[in-house]
Amino acid sequence: MEAIPNWHFAREYWQLQGGWNAKGGKQEEARLAQLKIANTYVKLAEGFTTAAQPSYLGASHWMAKAVHTLREAQADPVEIENAHQRLLDFQKRGMSEMQTIRIPREGSDLEEKLEQSAKAAAELIKGHVFEEAILRLAYVSDPSRPTELRKRIESNEGGGVFTQIFGASTVRTDGQISDTKPPLDSDDPKDREEAVVKEMYSQARTIDWPARVQFLIEPARQQLIAEHPARRVDLLFLVQDNPFIPLGREGLFLRGLHAGLHGDIVLALHVLLPQVENSIREIFTAHGVITSKLESDATQDERDLGWMLTRPEMAKIFGEGMAFDLRGLLVERFGLNLRNDIAHGLLAEPQMITPGAMYAWWLVLRLCCIPIVKARNEASES
């Protein structure tokens, strides 16, 4: 089979031999069979790179299996490292093969409705004083509705046959796999639930968040800055004596909110995301949730943002929609994972300028506006 070559059949024969050797207690022979299996994966990967139409994504798939098998077989560390380096190269080169499939909307009823939404969002802001316009911008849309999103996925309205029967991976900008999810119709209830949750974040990232930005948030923001100079000093009312903003952090929120309002989303995210993490920690503490851990050596470290965003208290305090969006935007790999990617320097500037990033800025603005709107409503009712 190797001489033909037919690497798939060759691998099956080596798997049979390795299995019998292991069953017979011949561990070294089984290990050598594993090395032969790894070689079939390497050859399959090479075949994808030398084909008439090379596919480095296909090569990455098989080379990843080769690396895994070499490690299981306890191959020479140099051989494992070389295979791993080739995998990284294939993954990086494969990113150019990934394209977005766009469905044209021109002339459809949906296109007309979306244009009407954008006009309505701008009209919501038009003619109002700055303070009122900012509050209206914060409430021009609502956070996600996880229950409806889950229903859409479980009823197969937003997935399709491929998400039902196949698993999926998400990759970083360098082509490396950052997370995987099982197929939606998995027989294992645990795997099925994992697939549903990750698909919820994936569809929010690719459909829901960009749509809200394009047809609601962005038209409203542009209308606001067209009518008002929107200086930092104009935003002081938003950050002073705000329960969401701890004492001494007002200037940081001021800079981040002002930058995002004028479209500088890169600066806004770098300033605001660490402050949001701190604000959530402060609010958890105020609600009696211990956010630090005591180690055996008596040291105490704060738990990270991912821990807080997955706590049940998150939805109770902030609401299910806000909790879902913050988790998906900041720490979920099938979402945007902004907090981790930015903190570790994994994103270049163009990769931060996305609708999802603007949605994250808008969500922080809404968090800052909630106490003000709540106080106003309570005052009007009294």
List, for residues 6-35, the tens digit of each pLDDT value.
999 999 999 999 999 999 999 999 999 999
Same domain, 75 and 145: no
Residue 71 structure tokens: 């490690």
Domain that holds residue 75: 7-97
The top-scoring range by mean pLDDT among 56-70, 165-179, 221-235 is 221-235
Flag whether 106 is in a domain: no
Flag whether 342 is in a domain: yes
Which distant-in-sequence residues (6+ apart) come within 8 Å of 327 by Cβ? 201, 309, 310, 314, 335
Which distant-in-sequence residues (6+ apart) come within 8 Å of 313 by Cβ? 284, 287, 289
Instruction: Tell me the pLDDT band of 127, cut-offs 50, 70 and 90.
Output: very high
Same domain, 88 and 179: no
Of 29, 64, 97, the position where a domain reaches its end is 97
- Checking if the pLDDT of 161 tops 60, the result is no
Specify the pLDDT at position 98: 52
Same domain, 195 and 275: yes
What's the whole-number mean pLDDT along residues 113-142? 92
Specify the pLDDT at position 186: 75
Same domain, 287 and 143: yes
**Distance in angstroms (rounded) separating the CA atoms of residues 378 and 382:** 6
Same domain, 186 and 159: yes
Number of domains the chain is built from: 2
Flag whether 226 is in a domain: yes
What's the whole-number mean pLDDT along residues 309-320? 94
- Checking if the pLDDT of 230 tops 70, the result is yes
Of 362, 312, 321, which is closest to residue 137 (Cα–Cα)? Answer: 362
Flag whether 109 is in a domain: no
Reported as a single tens digit per residue, the pLDDT across 167-200 is: 566 656 656 666 677 777 777 889 889 889 999 9
Same domain, 347 and 312: yes
Same domain, 190 and 82: no
Of 97, 126, 158, the position where a domain reaches its end is 97
Specify the pLDDT at position 169: 60
Same domain, 148 and 254: yes
Same domain, 37 and 154: no
Amino acid at 381: E
Of 97, 124, 156, the position where a domain reaches its end is 97
- Checking if the pLDDT of 327 tops 70, the result is yes
Specify the pLDDT at position 22: 92
Flag whether 355 is in a domain: yes
Specify the pLDDT at position 23: 93
Same domain, 163 and 311: yes
Same domain, 26 and 89: yes
Reported as a single tens digit per residue, the pLDDT across 255-311 is: 999 999 999 999 999 999 999 999 999 999 998 988 887 666 667 778 889 899 999
Instruction: Check: CB of residue 239 under 8 Å from CB of residue 211.
Output: no
Per-residue b/e over 162-194, b at no fewer than 16 CB within 10 Å? ebeeeebebbbeebeebeebbbbebeeeebbee
Peptide bond into 274 cis (omega under 30): no
Range scoring the smallest mean pLDDT among 55-69, 222-236, 255-269: 55-69
Same domain, 217 and 174: yes
Flag whether 105 is in a domain: no
Strand partners, 171: 177
Flag whether 262 is in a domain: yes
Reported as a single tens digit per residue, the pLDDT across 69-80 is: 999 999 999 999
What's the whole-number mean pLDDT along residues 361-376? 92
Flag whether 104 is in a domain: no
Instruction: Check: CB of residue 355 under 8 Å from CB of residue 125.
Output: no
